[in-house]
Structure 1
Amino acid sequence: MNMRTGLFTSATALAVAGTLVLTGCGSSTSDTNSGAASPGTSGKAVGADPSLAALVPADVKSSGKLIIATDAAYAPVEFKDDKGVIVGFDIDLVVAIAAKLGLKADVQNTDFTSIIPGLASKKYQLGMSSFTDTKEREATVDMVTYFSAGTSIAVKKGNPDKIDPNDLCGKKVAVQTGTVQADEIKDKRNPDCARAGKSTIPNDGDKFTLQTDVTSALVAGRDQAMLADSPVIDYAVKQSGQLEKIGSTYDTAPYGVVVAKGSDLTRAVQAAVQALMDDGTYKQILDKWGVAAGALDKSEVNAAKS
């Protein structure tokens, strides 16, 4: 997750690390951001579509709002600006989704790993936090696709440790807990290292609860590389001025809005996303955040290939 709004720059590694931490400070569920306003695509608010609003379950409709969980530490997709407001590509989009359905978006900041359990307990109605759509996730939740991203690798500028993106064996690699990148190290990269008779990535990766802490660990030199979603890596490279991307983006797959398994809300959300794609609002949001390369033209439910 990455994007603009509240651009941060620094001259030293320490300053950059501190700024990146502030971008997503805290993950308490008490940190909320009402999405009643326009997503700010071009100053034009998104209006309700009566035919889509009719798809909203009665209990949600009566509340007048969608309660959405996000981990606001994944710039530029979802993060906090310098005023502490939750912003980003995902946030603009979910505000627009809610508006299409005749609802207001109540965006709540929480730990990434608590979002899916929070849907199961009905604490939240949607999860909007750069979730890659996977078969494993689809076993417990519905995923409504809306964006395409892959995994990228970043290192310190100039690649002082001569990191090979195809061989991270024995290197200190930072990742966010609960992500597909953390799974990649544990399930693929380290077994491959062991089979090749090489040292594995220590501890199956240096894992952090917040992506901002992942980035800070690399900037400060505590880790030698980081794995994250491609828009996050691009944003970190641009904002820090002290990192660079190595290798190509790989394992491209769609992001999905997370909805409770079998919920009547799934169809409503998918229809709203498709309507935003069709009427141009979706493109305006992607252009605003500079992520148009990940645009999809069709939203699907549970479309994971692996």
Structure 2
Amino acid sequence: MKNKLFMLMLVLVIAVLGACGTADKEETSGNEGTKTEDKKVLTMGTSADYPPFEFVDPTVSEEIIGFDVDLANLIGEKLGYEIVIENIDFNSLIPSIQAGKVDFVLAGMSSTPERDKVVDFSIAYNETVQMVVTKKDSGIETVEDLAGKKVGVQVSSIQEDLANEVAKTVDMTVESRNLIPEVFQDIMTKRFDAAIIEDIVAENYTERNTDLTFFPVVVDDADYKAAVFPEGSELKGQFDETIQELIDNGEIEKLRQKWFVVEAE
């Protein structure tokens, strides 16, 4: 009789524990791609070689930091998303969006007709100017001085497109590198005579290296930075509204003051 009673109690305990485990699973599971019941997760693609927009400062930590990172976190906070960052080579960012590996991209990227065919862009959050960066002793002071010179750019960037356009009228050689630090390293070692880089990034590097200088490239169209999404993504509308709010309330201007070494004139 005692054995039967023991077995009955054991069965009841197992049943109760099983029910508790099921309840825990039901309580902690939520929508697809969530970590908690009320906080959804978005994966952001970026190329962390582009200070001050996105970069790693190894003297502090291996964490990706910068203007775009802070902006993404501000947007995520407003919309109720947790932002997880994937570091991807710049030329692989749009393919990563198309393959569904990331939900959006913030990487100092500009809209172009070619990109517009395959992805969607948010409203602009920053405007930049393109610069020729060179060593102070290079003797290069104008775009025309690039004749006969080797000019570096980042692969798949609008600067690469601009350099190739300039090369149609100025007899210069254009070479691409995957990462911006590689471009600057090749300027310093004189593998490149110059490079075409956007103003904020150029200023950031030249502030830290007094051997470098820069001057603007005059172009017809302004360059605007925007977030990037898969075609038809509902996130675009949410980001557009939030970016405009952050512009209107001065939060984006605060980020510029925090991260940009020198404001573009």
- TM class, shorter-length: 0.7 to 0.9
Which residue, out of 93, 110, 135, partners 1:115? Answer: 93
For the 8 Å contact 1:155–1:224, the answer to whether it is kept is: yes
Q: How many residues align?
A: 228
Task: Quote the offset at 1:139 in angstroms.
Answer: 1.4
Letter in 1 for 2:189: A
Which residue, out of 238, 242, 253, partners 1:283? Answer: 253
Aligned twin of 2:197: 228
Task: Quote the offset at 1:169 in angstroms.
Answer: 2.5
- Sequence identity of aligned pairs in percent? 27
Equivalents in 2 of 1:249, 1:232: separation in Å?
17
- Deviating more after overlay: 169-178 vs 271-280: 271-280
1:71 aligns with 2:47: yes
> Quick one: structure 1 residues 148 and 117, their matched pair in 2 at CA, closer, same or farther if it must change by over 3 Å?
same
Equivalents in 2 of 1:189, 1:174: separation in Å?
13
| Correspondence 1:94-133 to 2 at 5 A | 94-133=72-111
For the 8 Å contact 2:207–2:261, the answer to whether it is kept is: no
Counterpart secondary structure, 2:222: strand
> Quick one: structure 1 residues 59 and 281, their matched pair in 2 at CA, closer, same or farther if it must change by over 3 Å?
farther
1:184 aligns with 2:168: no
TM-score when normalising by structure 2: 0.79
Task: Quote the offset at 1:84 in angstroms.
Answer: 2.1
Letter in 1 for 2:54: E
Aligned twin of 1:219: 188
Counterpart secondary structure, 2:74: helix
Letter in 1 for 2:132: I
Equivalents in 1 of 2:47, 2:253: separation in Å?
23
Which residue, out of 206, 215, 220, partners 2:175? Answer: 206
Aligned twin of 2:149: 171
| Structure 2: tracts of 5 or more residues without a match | 1-30
Deviation by residue 1:24-50 (Cα, 9 ceiling, x = unmatched): xxxxxxxxxxxxxxxxxxxxxxxxxxx
Report which of the two structures shows the higher radius of gyration computed on alpha carbons: 2
Counterpart secondary structure, 2:243: helix
TM-score when normalising by structure 1: 0.69
Deviation by residue 1:163-189 (Cα, 9 ceiling, x = unmatched): 532342221111110111111222x12
For the 8 Å contact 1:169–1:201, the answer to whether it is kept is: yes
Counterpart secondary structure, 1:76: coil
For the 8 Å contact 1:283–1:292, the answer to whether it is kept is: no
For the 8 Å contact 1:132–1:255, the answer to whether it is kept is: yes
| Structure 1: tracts of 5 or more residues without a match | 1-57, 194-199, 296-306
Q: Which structure carries more helix by proportion? A: 2
Counterpart secondary structure, 2:184: helix
Equivalents in 2 of 1:282, 1:164: separation in Å?
33
Counterpart secondary structure, 2:176: strand
For the 8 Å contact 2:204–2:261, the answer to whether it is kept is: no
Aligned twin of 2:214: 245
1:147 aligns with 2:126: yes
Aligned twin of 1:162: 140
> Quick one: structure 1 residues 282 and 59, their matched pair in 2 at CA, closer, same or farther if it must change by over 3 Å?
farther
Equivalents in 2 of 1:292, 1:146: separation in Å?
17
Equivalents in 2 of 1:292, 1:221: separation in Å?
26
Letter in 1 for 2:95: P
Aligned twin of 1:80: 56
Task: Quote the offset at 1:201 in angstroms.
Answer: 2.2
